[in-house]
Structure 1
Amino acid sequence: MRRRADGLLLAFSWLTVLPIRGPEEIDRGVAGRAMAHSPLVGLFLGGVASAVLWVTVASGLSPMLGGLICVAVAALLTRGMHLDGLADTADGLGCYGPEERAREIMKSGSAGPFGVAAVALTLGIQAAALGQLAQQHLWWAIAIIPVVGRVWVVLGCRRGIDAAAPNGFGALVAGTQSAVAVGLWLAAAAAVSIFARPERPWQGPLVVVVAMVAAVVVARHCVRRFGGLSGDVLGAGIETTTALTAIGLLVGS
């Protein structure tokens, strides 16, 4: 029980700005349990997103403005680290040099044109989609979108995936998730997404499947390009999966 609690605390300590202290000693076992709990962090963020958007709708703000406020709050709650990972990954993919050069660019600490464009487009898509979902009062859909984004983390850290470097975040979490953990979270995400569009209960599970397949394809390319998994790739996967899920839940509106 204590080991599970350590994993949950570390997940919130790593993935949010909440003043929660994780375990003092962190190895691959604890890090793996933290990644297995990351969808619960998504549930917390989804609840906050629903509340923020409900307030913006009740206040008479435009859907786009409400969506922008929502993504800003999400960035604050997550330290913006997933956006940083998205920018670094985009810049790395835009490099034509060998994988060592691509990883060097990703570690430079600055954002290039590919990174800026990727962040701007992704945030714009998320804001517009979330605002439209709020306008339609699809609060459960809004709540589960960050969950789906974090289920990707479990899938991205599945066994058989190597880290891009022998140290760092990727080395702690790559290959830590069993097929059972991946299957359980995918099934849970598909199950809760049934209620995202009550009039079309099949749409949510279909969106989850499509978003995960797309994320796996992109991540596989990143792993080949960079020589393994890194924290930046996981962050990029969260942001892009979040955007794809939001778009998918709006199709047919």
Structure 2
Amino acid sequence: MGDGWRLAVGTLTALPVRSPVALRPRAALLLAPVAVLPLAVPAALVLWLLPVPPLVAGLLVVGVLALGTRALHWDGLSDVADGLTASYDAERSLAVMKTGTSGPAGTLAVVLVAGLQAAALAEYAGAWAGALAAGALICLSRCALWIVCAAGVPAARPDGLGAVFAGVVPRPLSVVGAVLLSVIGGLVVLGLVGRARARMGGVTGDVMGAAVEVALATTLVVWAWAF
């Protein structure tokens, strides 16, 4: 579990950790919700204690999470949006995603999802209960990886994060992940995975990052009514 923990923290956050001695992708994914706890805590504190308008607090939390992950998930969301709208050819889509540049579709996807997250987070600001709930949802959003990396879901490429993590999570745990994502969040992630498989033949590290951000936006919006 030590190697799994280091792999989870090193992959999902910008926190400095020693490199794992051996790759333990399944353990890393199981620990993913806990690995981002060091990011969820300051995010919750911003929502609870910072004396700023709620929407400003929401935007700051989006920024805190982006800094804490080296904006890796946002890069994945941008690349996936560009790849899925670039061509009906799988190789062309994968090539576009690998360029690292952000086209119109990628830019719009990032703005839209970040806006949804910030606006939803504003509903959790100002009270300890809302801030605590937002922190918990930030952790639970990483359960999206249990769906993307479910057994039977292939990698689109023979290299990269997709090749390391794809297909390693038992399907029952993927179902648990969908439930923890308020079901609706799980269905959204399932839709993303289905689209990636149909267009690219499988998932990539970019799809994993995109799933995290989409799942967070969805679950925040779904539960915002409670606050």
TM-score, normalising length: structure 2: 0.93
2 CA distance for matches of 1:160 and 1:154? Answer: 12
Q: Once the 2 structures are TM-superposed, how far is the Cα of residue 185 of structure 1 from its aligned partner?
A: 5.0
**Structure 1 unaligned spans of 5+:** 190-206
2 CA distance for matches of 1:214 and 1:140? Answer: 24
Partner residue in 1 for 2:195: 221
Distance 1:25 1:210, change over 3 A: same
Partner residue in 1 for 2:6: 9
SS in 2 for 1:228: coil
Distance 1:69 1:252, change over 3 A: closer
The residue type equivalent to 1:10 in the other structure is L
1:18 paired with 2:15, answer: yes
- Which range moved further: 137-146 or 99-108? 137-146
Distance 1:43 1:184, change over 3 A: farther
Moved runs in structure 1, 4+ residues, more than 4 A?
183-187
Matches within 5 A, 1:185-196: 189=180
Tell me which of 14, 35, 46 is aligned to 2:40. 46
1 CA distance for matches of 2:177 and 2:132? Answer: 18
Distance 1:183 1:221, change over 3 A: closer
1:165 paired with 2:162, answer: no
1 CA distance for matches of 2:188 and 2:178? Answer: 14
The residue type equivalent to 2:196 in the other structure is C
Q: Once the 2 structures are TM-superposed, how far is the Cα of residue 180 of structure 1 from its aligned partner?
A: 4.4
2 CA distance for matches of 1:182 and 1:44? Answer: 24
Q: Once the 2 structures are TM-superposed, how far is the Cα of residue 64 of structure 1 from its aligned partner?
A: 1.0
Q: Once the 2 structures are TM-superposed, how far is the Cα of residue 136 of structure 1 from its aligned partner?
A: 5.2
- What per-residue deviation string (whole Å, max 9, x for no partner) do you get for residues 151-174 of structure 1? 110121110000001111100000
Q: Once the 2 structures are TM-superposed, how far is the Cα of residue 24 of structure 1 from its aligned partner?
A: 3.6
Q: Once the 2 structures are TM-superposed, how far is the Cα of residue 105 of structure 1 from its aligned partner?
A: 0.4
Tell me which of 175, 195, 203 is aligned to 2:167. 175
Q: Once the 2 structures are TM-superposed, how far is the Cα of residue 252 of structure 1 from its aligned partner?
A: 6.0
**Structure 2 unaligned spans of 5+:** none
User: Is the Cα contact below 8 Å between 1:32 and 1:172 reproduced in 2?
Assistant: no
Partner residue in 2 for 1:71: 62
Matches within 5 A, 1:98-117: 98-117=89-108
1 CA distance for matches of 2:106 and 2:178? Answer: 29
Partner residue in 1 for 2:139: 147
2 CA distance for matches of 1:31 and 1:166? Answer: 16
Q: Once the 2 structures are TM-superposed, how far is the Cα of residue 37 of structure 1 from its aligned partner?
A: 1.1
Q: Once the 2 structures are TM-superposed, how far is the Cα of residue 50 of structure 1 from its aligned partner?
A: 0.4
User: Is the Cα contact below 8 Å between 1:67 and 1:131 reproduced in 2?
Assistant: yes
SS in 2 for 1:220: helix
Instruction: Specify the structure having the higher radius of gyration (Cα).
Output: 1
- What per-residue deviation string (whole Å, max 9, x for no partner) do you get for residues 162-196 of structure 1? 00011111000000011344355556x3xxxxxxx
Q: Once the 2 structures are TM-superposed, how far is the Cα of residue 143 of structure 1 from its aligned partner?
A: 1.2
1 CA distance for matches of 2:62 and 2:124? Answer: 14
> What is the total number of aligned residue pairs between the two structures?
226
SS in 2 for 1:208: coil
The residue type equivalent to 2:131 in the other structure is W
Q: Once the 2 structures are TM-superposed, how far is the Cα of residue 25 of structure 1 from its aligned partner?
A: 3.9
TM-score, normalising length: structure 1: 0.84
Q: Once the 2 structures are TM-superposed, how far is the Cα of residue 78 of structure 1 from its aligned partner?
A: 0.3
